[in-house]
Structures are given as structure tokens and as C-alpha cells.
Amino acid sequence: MFKKFLPIIILLSAALVFRLWLTDKGWHVDLFSNAGWGEWIYEHGPGKFYDNVYWTYSWPTQPPLINSVYAYNKNLYINILGRLAWIDFQIKKITHVREVIWLSNFVTWFGYGKINTEIPFQIGYLVTMKLFPIMADIFIGLIIYFVSGKKWQWASIYLFSPFTWYLSAMWGQYDQVSFLIALAGFVLVGRKSDFLAPLLWGIAVMIKPTALILLPFAVYWLIRRGKSPVIIKLLSFILPLIFFWITTAPYTNKNPLVFARYDLIRIIFEKSEPRVTVNAFNFWRIFLGDQAENQQMKFLFIPTYIWSWIVFGVLNLMAGYKCEKETKNKYVLWESLFLITGGSWMFMAGMLERYYFPGIVFALLAVINKPKLVKWWWVISIIFFINLYYHWWVPEFFGIPKNILSWQNSLVTRILALANTAVFVILAVSLYPPAKLMPGNFQKLFYRPAEKP
């Protein structure tokens, strides 16, 4: 039994060690903001968190739950440091060695080391901030392993693709954490415990509000494919509200729902001017490049923000229609989620580069059933990695790519955006043959199934 799972155990262990090794190789400024929020809550409590006006890096722009996680990281860091110091002390006592150099040096580095004199946080605390995204990466790889029928090769594609470790171990972003929880919710649907799926989707949104894009389809999927009785399905949507109330109440003396309506929406969604694209190599970048345009900008006489809602609605309708027609296709869920998340990022306004993460992973899950399409997945995943690197430029020794990407008013990035859009369309059409999605009478005119040998 152990030998059967040995390849995936080795793979997950190698992926974990590799990410831990990377944790001090890059520091994104967003991580400093998150660390500042967590440290403030740890020292002062959550009560006045959103009222504080003195911040070293940036004002809070995230929901209460994720800020509580940042505060927990500070506590976790202190506990880890204490355990390491205790182990170091005990080893010295047992061996009667005055100093176990490598361990003592590590404890000093982890507990007291600083990046430089300008950054006020200990290296150990910043490394600890990255542990949750790293572990989320590992568990996403494990889910891919089981979805693929226990084929470790598919898990390895994800775990060692550059965009995964770049986001988690280098950036320290929590996109993987939110995605993992949302993914677990979809995995639950169709099982006896699928009444917990709305709670998981709600938690995913409370970690990263970008998960909101999944909710319309998630509700549809639970109602159509869930095994729980209808009344249980309906009642299950109360669970995320209760959880939101519990996790938000410590941050305000208002009713948490009132606080969400009049404060959180402003803090999270109205923090800056709504732009058509924010460093995303998507459809809009082909025309705009690095140019910052408001979402009121018109495209074919219609403001881009209205195009966003039209696109989002059409994508969800297409996904639902496909699910109704292909009830026996066990990969239809992943194909539908790729269409919604990938298409939304590609054609909706206001997208940051890292918001494409769910679309990339759902695309990988979808092509497991059609491995010939994996070559196109490699294209979009590599462009996604380049997109993440663009504007952050870490590691800095990649000087030549930086010059190429910045050349001629970012002309190369526009070309990459065009390629990204084209490959998305290729994948979408391959997974969603237009003729097959037509009603029966029209389908006969355009689509003829392959003859059996």
C-alpha cells in the first residue's frame, strides 16, 4: 500500500522543500502590508483595526477573516521561534556542546534577522506569512492527483509549474488558499456532506473576495448536482452568513451586515479608481498596453464595465447549458469552471494579473480528460508566469527579459496578451465545440459525430 503512494509522497515532499527554500528569495511589498496588518491586530486586537489611520505601507483593503489569519501568523511565528529556541537549548544541554552552530544560526536568523534596516519585520515572521499559501499549493496538487485518477504526473505539472511557487513561496499571496477552499467545496458536491459546500465557498470569499466570481455557478451546481434534500441545500446557505457574523463582529461595534454594506464594500472594492485592466495580459491589454483607462471607457459604443456584466452572464449561461447537456461527462465541472474563471479574467474589466490563477488551474483539471490539449495549457501557464514577473521584476538578475518586456511601450506584452486571448479561445472551443452546444435540430446541420470503426 505504501509503495503505491510512494511517488506522490516523494513529489509532494519535494515540492514542499523546494517552496520552503524559496521563501526568503523574494519579498513583495504586499507581504509587508499584510504583515503590518497582522502585527497590529496581534498587538492591539481587532476592535479598532479599520479605524486606525497610521500605516507604514498601506491601509487595510481586505476582509476581516484574512486579517485574522495574518494576525494568527504572528502568533504562529512566535510559537515556532520559541520551539526552535527550546530545541537548541536542549541539544546544547544533552551534548554538552557550547554551541550547535547551524541550529543557533538558524534561530538567530529566523527570530532576529531583518531584510534590511528599512523593513521593520523579522525574516521569520515574513517566512511564516508564506506557509499557508505553500501548504495550499501542496493540497491543490494532491486534489489534482486524485481527480486525475491517481496519476502523479498531473500533480507534478501543477506543483512545479513556475506560476505556482512564484505566487506562494515568492509573493506570499493567498490566492491559493482561497482557491483550495473553493475547490474543496466543489469536490464535496454530490457527497453526503455537500451541505457544507456553501460554507467553504463563503470562507473562500472571506479570504479573497475575487472568489465571488464563482458563486452564481456554485449555487447552480449545488442545486442541480447536490445530494442533500432541497430544504437542507437552502438552509446550508445560512452557514456562511453565520460564519461571516462570527469572524466580523470582533472588528466593529456595528451590526456586521451593516458594517459590510457601508464599510467593507468601500474598503475592499472602492479603494482605487476602477480601471479596465491592471497589469493583466488579457484581451484589453491588446489595445491599451500599460495605459490606465477608467471602466467608463467605451468599446463598440458600450462602456467596458457593462461589457463585463454581459460577458459574465453569457459565460455562466454557456456553462450551465453545457452541464445540462453533458450530465455523464465527469469533467464537465472543470470545463465549466475554466470557461467562467478564464473567460471572466480574459474579457472582464478590472482584472489584476494574479486573478487568472483559478482559470489556469481549472484549465489543467479540464485537459486531464483531453491530454492533447495540454500543450495549449503550457502556453497560457507560461504567459501567466511572465505576467506575474512583469512590473515586480523579482528575481532582479533577469535583466534581459525585463528589457524585452519593457521595449517599445510594452509592445511585447501586447503580443503576449494577443497570444493569451487566442489560446484561451482555442481551449474554450476545444472544450466547448459550438456546434455540439446548439439545440438538437441545429446540431445535426453543423456537427456529425465520428463514425464507429
The predicted pLDDT at position 261 comes to: 92
The predicted pLDDT at position 171 comes to: 95
Q: Of the residues 84, 104, 129, which one is the last residue of a structural domain? A: 129
**In whole angstroms, what is the distance from residue 217 CA to residue 102 CA?**
52
| Cell 484549465, located at residue | 363
**In whole angstroms, what is the distance from residue 164 CA to residue 170 CA?**
10
Amino acid at 357: F
Residue 323 lies in a domain: yes
The predicted pLDDT at position 271 comes to: 72
- Please list the alpha-helical segments (H only) found in 289-331: 304-325
Q: Of the residues 129, 148, 173, which one is the last residue of a structural domain? A: 129
User: DSSP letter string over 164-226?
Assistant: HHIIIIII--SHHHHHHHHHHHHHHTTSTTGGGHHHHHHHHHHH-GGGGGGHHHHHHHHHHH-
The tally of domains found in the chain comes to 2
Residue 136 lies in a domain: no
3-state secondary structure 33-76: HHHHHHHHHHHHCCCCHHHCCCCCCCCCCCCHHHHHHHHHHHHH
**In whole angstroms, what is the distance from residue 377 CA to residue 335 CA?**
13
The predicted pLDDT at position 450 comes to: 52
The predicted pLDDT at position 446 comes to: 46
Residue 16 lies in a domain: no
Residue 112 lies in a domain: yes
- Averaged pLDDT, groups of 10, the chain, 453 residues long: 82 97 94 96 95 90 96 97 90 68 87 90 96 98 95 95 96 96 95 92 96 96 90 92 96 94 89 83 92 84 91 94 88 96 95 95 95 95 95 77 80 95 95 63 49 50
Residue 49 lies in a domain: yes
Residue 104 lies in a domain: yes
Residue 193 lies in a domain: no
Q: Of the residues 69, 102, 129, which one is the last residue of a structural domain? A: 129
Residue 18 lies in a domain: no
What's the domain range around 73? Answer: 28-129
pTM of the model: 0.92
